[in-house]
Amino acid sequence: MSAEIQISNFDEIRQDCWNDSLHLFGASYIYSKRGQRIGKFLKANNFLGIVVPILIGGIVTSYNISPENLNTILFIAAPISILQLVLSALSLTYKWDDSYSYYLESVNDSSALSNDYKNLAKYPPLKINEFKAKKELIDVKNNIRGNRHGKYPLTDKEKRKAMRYSLRNFQRKCAGCLQVPTDMKSTDCGVCGKF
């Protein structure tokens, strides 16, 4: 009886490792998508902040510009400068730099934790106490990461998208629609769709 209980516990711990790996893999995916999106705005803001003054200064110093032509150049550059100012204001207000740094950190941490759980599930120690101890060590790191996720939590739509991405990667059936996703097209499933 004792051996059966230990085998059952061993299988449960192993399954928990696979599940944790799956969830962290999905979180990593979502935070990478957020980082890519916000990174584009940051790059555009930085580019516009540099290119407009350089172009105006380069044109004015390189060519003999009449005051009328300079007014035309400034008239064309003004909307681009205003766009850059708006992007800068949004960036400061919503702390895009902080968010971007957090998303990159979260992608790295979540990916590493997912791999740790996956490796532990694939190659578990033979002794159950050692298995539990190794999992608990990863759990502590995961809890620290999870507490940080409260700063930028995933929406329900993002959670469903993350689930679909993970199920597709791990080749597992969805608990809702009982299908193994083969693409990232949204479905009517309440577990891995509706995003």
Q: Give tens-digit pLDDT for 94-123.
A: 999 999 999 999 999 999 999 999 999 999
Q: Are residues 175 and 148 in the same domain?
A: no
Q: Are residues 113 and 194 in the same domain?
A: no
Q: Are residues 13 and 109 in the same domain?
A: yes
Task: Give the model confidence (pLDDT) of 24-68 as tens digits.
Answer: 999 999 999 999 999 999 999 999 999 989 998 888 888 888 888
Q: Are residues 185 and 101 in the same domain?
A: no
Residue 185: the pLDDT is 96
User: What is the pTM (predicted TM-score) of this model?
Assistant: 0.85
Q: How many domains does the chain have?
A: 2
Q: Are residues 122 and 148 in the same domain?
A: yes
Q: The domain containing residue 33 runs over which residues?
A: 2-154
Residue 61: the pLDDT is 86
Q: Are residues 135 and 192 in the same domain?
A: no
- What is the spatial distance between Cα 178 and Cα 104, in angstroms, rounded to a whole number? 33
Average per-residue pLDDT for the chain: 93
Task: Give the model confidence (pLDDT) of 6-30 as tens digits.
Answer: 557 999 999 999 999 999 999 999 9
Q: Are residues 169 and 110 in the same domain?
A: no
Q: Are residues 144 and 172 in the same domain?
A: no
Percentage of the chain beyond pLDDT 90 is 81
DSSP-derived 3-state class of residue 85: helix
Q: Are residues 102 and 179 in the same domain?
A: no
CA distances from 75 to 81, 89, 145 (A): 10, 22, 49
Residue 60: the pLDDT is 86
Tokens of 103: 């998303």
Q: Are residues 120 and 180 in the same domain?
A: no
Q: Are residues 167 and 136 in the same domain?
A: no
Q: Are residues 174 and 138 in the same domain?
A: no
